[in-house]
Amino acid sequence: MKGAWTLSMQNESAARGACILAFDTANEVVAVGVGMYTEAPGGDPENPTFGMVPLACREIPAHRASNTILLNEVDATLAEAGVPKGDVAAVVCGRGPGSFTGVRICMATAKGAASALEVPLYGVSTLDAVAWRAWAEGVRGRVLVAADAMRKEVYPALFEISDSEISRLTTDAVVKAAIACEWVADQEAKLPERAGDLTILGDALVKYREIFEPLGAIADESLWAVSGAGLLLAAQAGLAAGDIDLSADAWHGESNAAAARANAGAAPVALRPGDPSVLLPVYTRLSDAEENERIRLAKEASEKTDALSPRDLSTGVQHANVVSAAIENRAAVVAEIADVSANISYRPLDAAHAAGVAAMERECMGSDAWSPSLVADELPRRDRTWWAAYDGQKLVGYCGGWIVAGQVQILKIATDPSYRRRGIAAELISLVASDARNLGATEMTLEVRESNVGAQAFYEKLGLAIIGVRPHYYSDRENAVIMTGPLPASGVSAHDESAAPVVAGMELQVSAVSGAPREAAATAVELDSSKRPLILAIESSCDETAASIIDGQGGLHSDVVASQIDFHSRFGGVVPEIASRKHIEAICGVCDECLATAAASLGVGSLRWRDLDAVAVTYAPGLVGALVVGLAFAKGAAWGADKPLIAVNHLEGHLYANRIAEPGMQPPMVVSLVSGGHTMLVHVRDWGDYETMGSTIDDAVGEAFDKVAKALGLGYPGGPIISKLAAKGNPKAIAFPRALMHSGDLRFSLSGLKTAVTTYIQKEQQAGRELNMPDIAASFEAAVVDVQVAKAKAALIETGAKEFCLGGGVAANPMLRGAYEKMCRKLGVRLTMPPLSACGDQAAMIAEVARDRFAQGRFADLSLDVKAHAPLDEPY
């Protein structure tokens, strides 16, 4: 499609001739459009009309393969339009709603591409783009767009389309397909009566046409999906509304991490329009785990045992409530393991603490206080989010918000007077904002007493501004100041000079491993050849978002990790949907910090994507929703910077983690990979040549630690807690089984051991005996270690290898490391173990693999996709 639409618009700040690249993969179509913002031909020379001139558009059926075809189709569309990628002035992507995976593929690719191209990134609603496609094809009047939301649900939205504009009549929502007609009737009852029939379109009609047919006229099937033209028109509407900025004031590659360093100790760095780190998908609900948690907590009575204890933001340890002698014992043990009494912990507010909230309300709010019943009535509402802060079991703060029409209205926020000035209110606001962002909100608003200048200053630091006054708002007739602004970014309050950088609510673990900084005047182009190639590697296979930069000599110049453990701990394990959401939120900030840290290590003023020699990424194995964010971002960045892409197997990364400790080590060797998802012995004949000699037939070692910790009421993750307990116990106290110890092969089994521990706990409790938790932990750990060591010894003897190595999160276990040291001394075998920081998931190990693959010229193309499973033995 070429030519100009007749929709008139004017945006004086937009650069004339600016080319926009737009794409969407929210559902079963890959849509791409390339357009130019310029003067529409055929207009009045005295009063020209400016608009988006489409240069090339295409729609391709995805068949669930959008990650493999998106960038190739982008290249083809740019070529058809005659626009080099370097001439793209902005990237626009569909934000959904739609398939969770499809939306994230689109957004992660767009974030990577915009970051590397150093152009602003903006998002448009996929539903709006469908409506604009209909506008371009002449549809007018009241329109219903219904997108497939899976799970027998749909995303419906009503629009009014005229010759000159489109008006959105409803906000984003998700409803069961079976009651979609009722939803439409309810919404239309609130709207002016329409003049004609309702026109219905959207890909939900593929499954649910019969449900929607009674509502009106079904549009031609060619209009059901998003299109490149629709995306460009939605972008044009964004330009007209001022939501899209193509001026010099927009983001153009500025490093927020570098700005934060220069701004240390001052106010938070203001994010500029178009910053790729800001954009997030449209969500219409929290994850299933979070929604189910809120339903359960809202129903809990105060006398009922609380099955989820507050999460500790420093340790990630959960703590059981004191409801019986046995649980008192557990609480005492946990308090002894990790001194948590001095730490403030946070979790969603539950009904059991409604009375505590009301009591604090009376203390802090006076006559405007809410009653316990009013607080309890709020908790089960799906458009509310409430968080609380605790010191041990004591409620010390709370905050609640109401999400409506793209905005979260802070209903209540208070902190115990004796706990103020400790950052509790800022953390509560951040948690409410995070939930609101996941429910589609982009703004925050609240009322504060006109006399409370301290609170007003606090909210101003969060980015809110005074927009008006409500006269006599409070019960004592004091005025309320209305404050509104964009949702505060996660961690916005942590800006003091000593604080670690915070991204998406996660405190970054940042290190520059190698080399003293050179003189800062040097540029990346001037780096000597020994520093080449410079490779940035990304890891996102589970619940860590990580990035690292390595040079040609193996020098690690940055290693940045954002761990999500605090977001998963209260659920007792990793929630895949939460993991994927946090990756898309954190990926830009993590890579930004990685580049800034490496620049400082290398002694250059800045390091940009174009200064790199390659981009590497974990493509398998792992959680698909997590992997896809890292891979799509890496592909977008490699494409935007015109750099080669390197695919890395996550398990191979754990093998290479040993090179962080011993850079010169060489195969052959035997490696024990032990983590939450894997337990195996690998014969490394050479780098890239592996044989899996044996693996678990059921549970992995890390998984067994987590399950035993859960059985003991000690929370997640179980490994560190069990390990600390075991150090105080007797490993011979309980004779737990050593499964497959003498099987004659190198297979492992942990399921029977886990069951034996659980059965022992149940029998002790039934007999009324107090659990000796240190002895249970020590005996369990000894049973695990004995089998691991015996199998490793057999593998070394079988292969004749003279070197033994470890890999994976469980490789940090002190008892296991000590046992392997003894074994290797007796066998006369060299032992290499990764540093503790390299046992868990991080990107330094991915960078190590990438360095070898770069030297071998083993690059991937842009059709690379993720894999949940990928055996080490298979070359790639």
Kindly write down the DSSP assignment for every residue of 46-61, as one continuous string: TS--EEEEEEEEEEEE
Q: What is the pLDDT of residue 290?
A: 87
Separation CA 391–CA 394 (nearest Å): 5
CB-based contact 358:323 (threshold 8 Å): no
Tell me: is residue 611 an annotated ligand-binding position: no
* pLDDT for 324: 39
Helix, coil or strand: residue 13: coil
- Name the residue among 529, 561, 526 with its Cα closest to residue 544: 561
Residue with tokens 């399921």: 751
| pLDDT score of 758 | 95
**Torsional class of 669: left (φ above 0), alpha (ψ -120 to 50), beta (otherwise):** beta
Measured CA to CA in angstroms, residue 102 lies from 29, 603, 668 at distances of 9, 40, 42
**Which DSSP string corresponds to 510-567?**
EE--S-----TTB-GGG--GGGPSPEEEEE-SSSEEEEEEE-TTS-EEEEEEEE-HHH
Q: Which residue has the tokens 């709603």?
A: 97
What is the rounded distance in angstroms from the CA atom of residue 433 to the CA atom of residue 485? 12
**In sequence order, which residues have a C-beta less than 8 Å from that of residue 197 and are 6 or more positions away?**
141, 142, 216, 217
Give the whole-angstrom CA distance, residue 516 versus residue 367: 61
Closest among 15, 18, 17, 13 to 89, alpha carbons compared: 18
Tokens of 221: 């099937």
- 677 among the known binding-site residues? yes
What's the helix, strand, coil split of the chain in %, to 5? 40, 25, 40
Quote the Cα angle for 225-226-232, to 5°.
155
Alpha carbons 514 and 510: distance in angstroms, whole number: 13
pLDDT score recorded for residue 747: 96
The verdict on whether residue 650 carries a ligand-binding annotation is yes
Q: Is 266 helix (H, G, I), strand (E, B) or coil?
A: coil
Query: What number of other Cβ atoms are within 10 A of residue 577's Cβ?
Result: 16
- Is residue 533 classed exposed, middle or buried when 0-12, 13-18 and 19+ CB atoms within 10 A define those classes? middle
263 is in an annotated binding site: no
265 annotated to bind ligand:
no
Query: For position 42, what pLDDT does the model report?
Result: 64
Q: What's the token pair of residue 353?
A: 């603490």
CA distances from 790 to 739, 820, 822, 830 (A): 11, 10, 12, 17
**Per-block mean pLDDT, blocks of 10 residues, the chain (876 long):** 46 65 96 88 68 92 93 97 95 95 97 97 97 96 96 96 94 94 95 92 97 96 96 94 85 72 53 87 87 77 37 31 42 49 77 90 87 88 90 91 90 92 90 87 92 92 92 91 84 50 85 54 65 96 97 95 90 92 95 96 93 98 97 99 98 96 94 95 97 96 94 90 94 95 94 95 93 96 97 97 96 96 97 94 98 97 96 93
Asked if residue 628 belongs to a known ligand binding site, the reply is no
Residue 78 · residue 55 · CB < 8 Å: no
**pLDDT value for 762:** 94
Assess contact for 414 and 398: CB atoms under 8 A.
yes
Give the orientation angle of helix 814-827 with respect to helix 773-799, to 10 degrees.
30
> Is the CB of residue 461 less than 8 Å from the CB of residue 483?
no
Phi, psi at 133, each rounded to 5°: -60, -45
Q: Which residues contact 251 (CB under 8 A, 6 or more apart)?
A: 120, 121, 271, 272, 273, 274, 275, 276
Q: What is the pLDDT of residue 315?
A: 29
Q: Distance between CA atoms of 630 and 748, rounded to whole angstroms?
A: 31
Encoded amino acid at 511, one letter: S
- For the chain, which domains are there? 18-262 (3.30.420.40), 288-439 (3.40.630.30), 502-657+846-855 (3.30.420.40), 660-838 (3.30.420.40)
User: Residue 453 is encoded by which pair of tokens?
Assistant: 């200048």
**Dihedral (CA of 41, 45, 47, 48) sign:** positive
Q: At 519, list the tokens.
A: 């003189």
**How many Å apart are CA 783 and CA 600, to the nearest integer?**
46
813 is in an annotated binding site: yes
Beta strand 535-539 with 614-620 is parallel
The pair of three-digit structure tokens given for residue 507, joined into one six-digit string:
């405190």
Rounded Cα distance, 605 and 20, in Å:
30
CA distance 562 to 547: 9
Whether cis (ω within 30° of 0) applies to the bond prior to 668 is yes
